[in-house]
Amino acid sequence: MERITDVSKLVYTHIQGGQFRWVTVSTLMLALGTILHLVSPSVGGVTPNWTIATYCVAILLTRPNYKQTLGIGLVAALINVLTSKSGFPYGNLLSEPGGTVACAFVMRLMMGLKIEKIGKLDIMPFVTGFIATCVSGGIFVTILWQVLGLANNIYINAMLPLVVIIGLVNGVVTPLLYFPAKRLFAKRGFLPSSGEITSDHSNYIIEPSQEGKISVEHVNYTYSKATEPSLKDINLVVHEGDFLVITGPAGCGKSTLCMAMVGAVPKFYGGRLEGMVFVDGKATTQMDIPELATHIGVVLADYDTQLVTMTVKEEVAFAMENRGYDRDTIETRCKEVFKQVGLEGMEEQKITSLSGGQRQRLAIASVLATNPTVLVLDEPTSSLDPDGTAELYRLVGALNKEHGITVVVIDHDLHAVLPYANRMALMVDGELRCDADVTTTLRYMYDNGIYLEALPTVFTAYMDLEKAGHTFGEPWLSIESARAGLAKGGVAVSETAQPASNVAFASATAQDVVTVGGGTHA
């Protein structure tokens, strides 16, 4: 085991689809081959063997080992047994695995001899398509010759030459499939670029330099095929009991940071990660996403996609059943989380009958059911009205204060969440510009003119007053704190929505009305 002393130099690359991308690519290509086989017309009694052409493309793109290659061949054989019209279709059970192994062998041989290209032209699709077809077809017609007792002259003068002809045809159609497929799968991030592989950190000892529920250390992250990193040297520690709000302009990388915390970056999205993210002291690259889910619960902006059952109780129970909880534990935890999120008495209701806010609560309940110690919410209010937003953050604030759950919220609408937060981080262009208490980060945004449209109006009014020489105690993060500050400053505050002519407001700022969340307060 090698101990890593400087995580800033640690790199983890992951190709989307991971170690099973060969399954995804070969499945899609064989499906295409089956369709082409069923609809392709015959010309002069000759038609391309689309199954061989498509599995050659899959092997060239994903470069599976021989065991995996044999698996592709067996699947291709089963498809041909079901769709072939030959006199003895079961011959495919030997011929197709033979063809896939021949393709993989030739591919490795050409790569080893560095003859896979002539100039800039990749000739491997032609060569492998031709040889794999000759090997597979040769095995098949030989079996057919023996099983059906065909004459030797038919086998030698007709069947074998036909195999070579179809091999030449496949040598043409395989490149026609290969190059478009390569562009398509590369664009989707399923194919490695030169020298790029999925990393293995299992033999490393990786420890955080700082204690915390989540520790993000020297993290740079670049999505597959992206030219610029989405995260740039991020250092952030989330301590137990924190209520951290991360904000920033659209596209600044805050959701990417959220996905890095829960392990989806890079293990789901693929790409290149430099540095490390630790959860409860463990490196995320050394944990599977299901294991991370026992530490961190995540609620996405599109929370409806997380709801998969029919009723409220089934949804919460489903999360625990997947982790092997016994029936008694499931019943107990269901009661506990329904009480926590305020869904008591609604257990048997259909999910489709719930309001948006109730479905949001249900998504949180299903996450809480497995007892995570950290709750991450990625723009949770994107589809909620102001009342639903306020209610959601009252719930999340209670989970933080009363149940000790550490909370990380990614949001751009700060009015409702800030009264519950003890920390706030600002991201701009993939960088963490400020990480401090809420007031300090808001001041940083105001003083530097960064993302001013996200600042609560009441806080902006306070800063305008302060800038004009008037102070009213603690900065205002809500209407209530504004009223209290004005009262301490000897300014009468109307309880109605009617503006009052107030010297302090009139001299300090051009406005004498502060509007927040639809209410006007003088």
Task: Note the pLDDT tens digit of each residue in 324-345.
Answer: 889 999 999 999 989 888 888 8
If 0-12 CB within 10 Å is exposed, 13-18 middle and 19+ buried, where does residue 172 land?
Answer: middle
pLDDT of 93 > 90? The answer is yes
- pTM of the model as a whole: 0.69
Domains in the chain: ranges and CATH: 18-187 (1.10.1760), 457-521 (no CATH)
Chain centroid to CA 275: how far?
19
For 434-489, write each residue's pLDDT tens digit.
Answer: 999 999 999 999 999 999 999 988 899 889 888 888 877 788 887 778 888 777 76
pLDDT at 18: 59
Portion of the chain with pLDDT greater than 90, in percent: 54
Relative orientation angle of helices 356-368 and 386-403, to the nearest 10 degrees: 20
Distance separating alpha carbons of residues 150 and 163, to the nearest angstrom: 16
Is residue 471 within a helix (H) or strand (E), and if so which, with residue range? none
Q: What is the 3-state secondary structure (H, E, C) of 272-286?
A: EEEEEEEECCEEHHH
pLDDT of 167 > 90? The answer is yes
Relative orientation angle of helices 312-321 and 356-368, to the nearest 10 degrees: 20
